[in-house]
Structure 1
Amino acid sequence: MLAFLVAGVILGVLARVLHHEPDDPSPVLTVVLGAVAAAAAGGVMNLFLGDDLTALTPWSFTSSCIVTFVLLGLLEGVWWRRP
């Protein structure tokens, strides 16, 4: 589970560094969302595969990174934009 959290934090920081504008969400929100999304996605994939909830498998790690990437993109590109 720690690997999922670390991957989420890294992806959150990376998303913040790659796309930073004055009206973007706070860095804390971006990093926390990245960590929570990665941990949840990794855990759900492990449950789907029948593995232990905290097991680190290639499928669970890849799914956690993909889900985190998509959610951070939606946060900064769609949900946070004000009309």
Structure 2
Amino acid sequence: MADRRRSLAGTATESRPLPSRYLTPEDLVEMFELPSVETVYQWRRKRTGPRGFRVGRHLRFDPADVRAWVDVQRDGMAA
């Protein structure tokens, strides 16, 4: 688990590659150092976070969509 955290840590601000698997809400909490999974679900309700999709009852995020969302957030800060 510690190795997984280490591989995800800092991906929001650094140019490390994201994992090739679909990401869970818990992955986003670790990546972005969010207070809780509830933040990810709030983003989804408000449509302000990365695009996600359901696999049955499970929420997943495509790493490419997360990277695109991060890029938009970073571009918005530069303005």
Scaled by the length of structure 1, the TM-score of the pair is 0.36
Of Structure 1 and Structure 2, the greater strand share is in 2
Structure showing greater relative contact order (alpha-carbon pairs closer than 8 Å, 6 or more residues apart): 1
Of Structure 1 and Structure 2, the greater helix share is in 1
Larger Rg: 1
